Amino acid sequence: MNSTCSIVSLAACLVCGGVCAAGNVVTINFDVNPAGQAISAPAAFDNASPLHNTFAAWGVHFSGANSNQGGALLNDSTFSVRAFSGHNFLALSTVESTEFGGPETITFDVPMTQVSIEASGIGHPLAFQMQAFDASGVMVDSDTLTTAGWSQMTVASNAGIRSVTLRVLTSGVNTVTFDDLLAVPEMPPSCDADVNQDGVVDQGDVDYLVNVIAGGENPTGIDADFNGDGVADQGDVDAIIDVIAGGSCP
């Protein structure tokens, strides 16, 4: 696997806003569903249901202290914290017995090497813990942080992360929020020849790469060293033409 190509694909997928095919990086901002539609979330738990399978099409599932419970998608209109992205976040009750009670568990259909999420104590400096588990339920990594505003927790493991749990270690609080889940699959995608990121792989991508190698502008931010040999030159043009024609990644 060529690392340069993986990075290109990863960047392309991040730009895609989470509308990613299986095998690509998954980004969930809780504002857009897998169909590409804006999610209309209520402002309070009273009008919400626990989030379970809204993002199942992306291979990601949510549950709370038990399978019937879990955090809910809410909008930030009545909160003293704004969403990290858009207006929606995942709001979790720290009271385990309630419908929206955590700890929150997020499971993945495919093994991940890295998972991160933004956490906020809604103005209260709270201690958060994120734990990662493999397919056998063995903990493979964990992260803790104390934050009042938004801070990112990250877990990583080459053992294949199949689930993560999110919990609050500080007592005496009721609700916390999470936003912008990012999960990197174990098998990175093959190289992405759509270097101009217009959704199709064609001559336009060859033209784009040629222009970048010649010193032209690079609005998509690709690494012009498409074949990963350390230099950006005609060899990269040959490589992308080969891939576009159905050849394998360099």
Q: How far is CA 14 from the centre of its chain?
A: 8
The reply to whether 71 sits near Ca ion by the rule CB under 5 A is: no
Residue 143 binds Ca ion, judged by CB under 5 A? no
Q: What is the footprint of Ca ion within residues 205-224 (CB under 5 A)?
A: 205
| Contact flag: residue 225 with Ca ion (CB under 5 A) | yes
Shortest distance (Å) from residue 67 CB to Ca ion: 24
Instruction: Output the CA angle 212-216-218, nearest 5 degrees.
Output: 60
Q: Which of residues 75-134 bind Ca ion (CB under 5 A)?
A: 83, 85-86, 88
Closer Cβ to Ca ion, 63 or 75, answer by number = 75
d(CA 64, CA 15): 30
Nearest residue to 163 via CA among 104, 101, 218, 248: 104
Give me the least distance between CB of 95 and Ca ion, in Å please. 23
**Does the footprint of Ca ion cover residue 192 (CB under 5 A)?**
no
Binding mask 144-183 toward Ca ion (x if CB under 5 A, else -) reads -----------------------------------x----
Q: What DSSP line would sit under 111-151, residue for residue?
A: EEEEEEEEEE-TTS-EEEEEEEE-TTS-EEEEEEEEESSEE
Site string for Ca ion, 10-49 (x = CB under 5 A): -------------------xxx------------------
- In whole angstroms, how close is the CB of 179 to Ca ion at the nearest point? 4
Angle subtended by helix axes 234-244 and 203-213, to nearest 10: 170
Query: In terms of CB distance, is 93 or 227 closer to Ca ion?
Result: 227
Does a cis peptide bond (omega within 30 degrees of 0) precede residue 34? no
Q: 9 vs 5, 126, 185, CA distance in Å? A: 6, 36, 12
Which residues make up the interface to Ca ion (CB under 5 A)? 29-31, 83, 85-86, 88, 179, 194, 196, 198, 205, 225, 227, 229, 235-236
